[in-house]
Structure 1
Amino acid sequence: MEYVYAALLLHKLKQDITEDSVKKVVKAAGVAPDDVRVKALVAALSEVNIEEALKAAPAAVAAAAPAAAGAPAGAAAGKKEEEKKDEK
């Protein structure tokens, strides 16, 4: 994930996303960069319009939110059943 975050930071700062710039950001975060991962990320992002991808991302997150919100309620119901069993 640190490589993706590095690329997003560079994009936000309107800097070119190059192998060298990604490596510098990752190093600045205290991580030893993996040349293969950096090269793969830069190659993959060369064909992506990052601005459009970021605009489309909130729609995907919003669609997943209701499923995540329902999970704790189910867990709480299961806990109540366990408490009833313990009382018997």
Structure 2
Amino acid sequence: MEYIYAALLLHSAGKAVEEESVKAVLSAAGIATDESRVKALIAALDGVDIEDAISKAAAAPVAVAAAAAPVAAAAAEEAPEEEESKKEEEEESGMAGLGALFG
């Protein structure tokens, strides 16, 4: 994750996202760099419009949150039924234990 953060930091500063600059940011943060991960990041970002990717990523959580709301509501409706059945089971097991005490 820190490799991506380094690339985003360089991009927001208006600097070129290159191997040497990513390494410099990571080493300044005290992070040991892995040459293959840096190369993989630079290769993955080749031809990517970072501003466009950021704007798409910023819109995605809104869509996910909107889709998650009905699911959360359905789960909240099911929860009382589950809790009620658990309570009944606990009461039954408690009664069985009391029966053993009195023979």
Range class of TM-score, shorter chain: 0.7 to 0.9
> Residue 44 of structure 1: CA displacement?
1.9
1:52 corresponds in structure 2 to 52
Any gaps of 5 or more consecutive residues in structure 1? Answer: none
Label 1:30 to 1:79 Cα distance change in 2 as closer, same or farther (>3 A): farther
Structure number with the bigger relative contact order (C-alpha 8 A, sep ≥ 6) is 1
1:66-85 to structure 2, matched below 5 A, reads 66-70=66-70, 72-85=72-85
What secondary structure sits across from 1:31 in the alignment?
Answer: coil
Q: CA RMSD in A?
A: 2.0
**Structure 2 CA distance for partners of 1:73 and 1:30, relative to 1, 3 Å:** farther
Unaligned runs of 5+ in 2: 89-103
Superposed, 1:17-56 pairs within 5 Å as 17-56=17-56
Identical residues among aligned pairs (%) = 52
Q: 1:8 to 1:75 in 2, by over 3 A?
A: same
Seen in structure 2, the aligned counterparts of structure 1 residues 73 and 24 have a Cα distance that, compared at 3 Å, is farther
Deviation per residue, 1:2-30 (Å, 9 max, x gap)? 11111001100111111111112122233
- Once residues 12 and 84 of structure 1 are traced to their aligned partners in structure 2, the CA distance between those partners, rounded to angstroms, is 53
